Amino acid sequence: MARPADGDCVPDLRKERSNCSFNKEELTNLLDNGKEKTLTRRKIENLFLSDPEFLDPIRPEYLSHEDRYANELRKACHMIRSINENEEVQQVVGQMEGIRTLMGSGLGVALTKDGNPLALHFVMFLPAILGQGTVDQQGEWMTRAWAGQIIGTYAQTELGHGTFLRGLETTATYDPKTQEFILHSPTITATKWWPGGCKQVNYAVVMAQLYTKGQCHGIHAFIVQLRDEETHQSMPGVTVGEIGPRLGMNTNDNGFLKFDHCRIPRMNLLMKHAQVLEDGTYVKPASDKLAYGTMVFVRVAICFDSYRQLQRAVTIATRYSAVRHQSELVPGQPEPQILDYQTQQYKLLPQIATIFGIHFATKDVWDTYNEVTGDIHDGNLDLLPEIHALSCGLKALSSSDAASGIEVCRLACGGHGYLASSNLPRIYTTTTAAITYEGENTVMWLQVARYLIKSYREARRGQPLQHSVSYLTTQPTSTHSTSEYTNADLVEAYKKAVSSMVSETAARLQQYCDMGRPFEHAWNSCSVLLVKCAQAHIRYFTCEKYVAGVTNTELSEGVRNILHRLCRLYLIYHITLNQGDFLRSGSLTAHNIGTLEGEMCDLLAALRPDAVSLVDSFDIHDRILDSTLGCWDGNVYQRMFDEAQKSPLNQTDVPEAYYKYLRPLMKANL
């Protein structure tokens, strides 16, 4: 599939693209992490988007719930067959990295629009076996799972408990006589709730409380067969089904799962870290933090997915804003593009800036994690608490920033953004789910806060700290300079603001403890402030990595200039939104903030000519955007009208419901 040429678009977009001041391909390569990655991504996209099997004969919104599910399952199965049978696809897709491309918020959303019914098999079931299974267990399960001979899901959350893993109620009790574990759901609230794919999977990695020799050893992962491999009927002791319509991702087939003394072999306990011997002896893991590695992997993936969803939304809204003309900026003059209004620029340009901020911060954590993975497996866990805290915080920041940013983009499109054909409603409902799954964001912020308070107390004792919290070793000092602030100066202001917040909150927490309150109650009384500390800490970390990424990456002058402006906008934008934190800490004065607000308006004007080119650099195919408002050619109104004609209600001039209900009412009193 050839990419469209600049000339194949409406005049407004042609003019916008002619204003580009930087190399768009270079910026695309930066976001893809290299030129080769860009070429590979495009090749994967072309292979799958050119396959007619992935087309939807009828727009999903017009199908019943069951038909939508069946249609997406059809495409998901075809996807696996393509991977297994097509050598060209195998060469390009590779292993897990290619699968993430197909399942994630890039190409995946074009192939299976409302959720892939087999996604959890690849993004949770397989990684769980890789991360927690022994070499023998990986050999036993991975070959069959990768080929699609068995389909799995991941079952952790229960009706009564989600993020709080220690509260999970499902039990796995070892029976040494038969060398089996007995899986059981002792209460209604122990029912597993939300595992994806419960109508099509036949296996699951189930998280349950391990009991052996009368003692509970906490949460462990077990491979459990849910359905017969031939008949697909539920196994004895297993009750499994779907939970019903959700806000979004309805073809992911999220379900419920109950156990009634279901027996599985001893070797179905994933034993990479902990083991149960034949006689029931429990062999504990070298560290209870080893499972953090899998969590870091999943949460970093969520960060990348979140900003890619924001990329889609801001691409749609920016292109539409360049095509849409409305009102009079100057009385009597032609209606301007709404992108010329500063209020519209304020809605959209900070979202573009946010994408690069999340990219640089997440890439830093991902690169660090990959560098120390070997050390972690060898038992060196020194960096794991910091990486865990950063991945928790970035997951919370990226998902919340993306969800709120997508809603801003939808509102920026006026009434048309409310249409399903704009695709903004679906992008929003898909993205906002990330605020809850894999760690609800408030819980994530409080985990970051625990790391902050622990680090603060270590600093007070003179202990060395990891880089991300090293600012806690010194107290902030007041600065009232009215001189121009560089980006590095603004990062320093962020650092002083968060340091002051942590210091004040830690003192308040200690004060409550000194008054005789148990630590847990003191913590709860400070939890609102603790969340704010965590949010400020991760925002500071993101700002620091944003500036470092722009400064240290080898870039052409045009790309460096545009990224510098975006970075500057990001720094100032969040200062103006949280100016009380900076004023209270003394890191900035009211005069400083007033000056920065003026500069922010200048930055909006300076970035305005490059807005369309910036979203073009995200290199999102029209099929992936799937939007009447955001198409490359800008032919918005014809596409909207054509899409409206596809409604089943428009296939006849007079709907059947008129004769059945409305006509009898209208004619009743004649």
Residues acting as catalytic residues: 438
> Which among 433, 436, 386, 435 has a CA at the least distance from the CA of 538?
386
Burial, 660: exposed, middle or buried (Cβ in 10 Å; 0-12, 13-18, 19+)? exposed
Torsional sign, CA 552, 553, 556, 562: negative
For 10, the token pair is 């409406």
- Tokens 């916008």 correspond to 16
CB distance 27 to 36 below 8 Å: no
Q: What CA–CA distance (Å, rounded) separates 493 from 582? A: 7
Phi/psi of residue 171, each to 5°? Answer: -115, 150
Phi/psi of residue 232, each to 5°? Answer: 70, 10
For 369, the token pair is 């994690």
CB distance 267 to 255 below 8 Å: no
204-220: b (≥16 Cβ within 10 Å) or e:
bbbbbbbbbeeeebebb
Q: What is the DSSP string of 224-287?
A: EE-B-TTT-PBPTTEEEEE----SS-GGG-EEEEEESSEEEEGGGB--SS-EE-TT--EE--S-
Q: Beta strand 192-196 with 254-259: parallel, antiparallel or unpaired?
A: antiparallel
CB distance 221 to 132 below 8 Å: yes
Q: What CA–CA distance (Å, rounded) separates 484 from 541? A: 22
> Which among 102, 129, 151 has a CA at the least distance from the CA of 305?
102
CB distance 291 to 132 below 8 Å: yes
**What residue type is assigned to position 659 of the chain?**
Y
Q: What CA–CA distance (Å, rounded) separates 329 from 93? A: 50
**Distance set, CA 57 to CA 369, 421, 627 (Å):** 43, 15, 17
Torsional sign, CA 369, 372, 378, 383: negative
Laid out side by side, the sheet with 192-196 consists of 192-196, 254-259, 238-242
- Tokens 């909006």 correspond to 604
Q: What CA–CA distance (Å, rounded) separates 660 from 191? A: 43
- Taking residue 645's Cβ as centre, other Cβ atoms within 10 Å add up to 8
Q: How many CA atoms lie within 13 A of 503 on its CB side?
A: 18
Q: What CA–CA distance (Å, rounded) separates 538 from 415? A: 35
Q: What CA–CA distance (Å, rounded) separates 622 from 630? A: 8
> Which among 408, 468, 471, 403 has a CA at the least distance from the CA of 441?
403
**What residue type is assigned to position 141 of the chain?**
W
Task: With H, G, I as helix, E, B as strand and everything else as coil, classify residue 174.
Answer: strand
424-432 and 384-412 helices, crossing angle to 10°: 150
Q: What CA–CA distance (Å, rounded) separates 14 from 125? A: 46
342-377 and 527-552 helices, crossing angle to 10°: 90
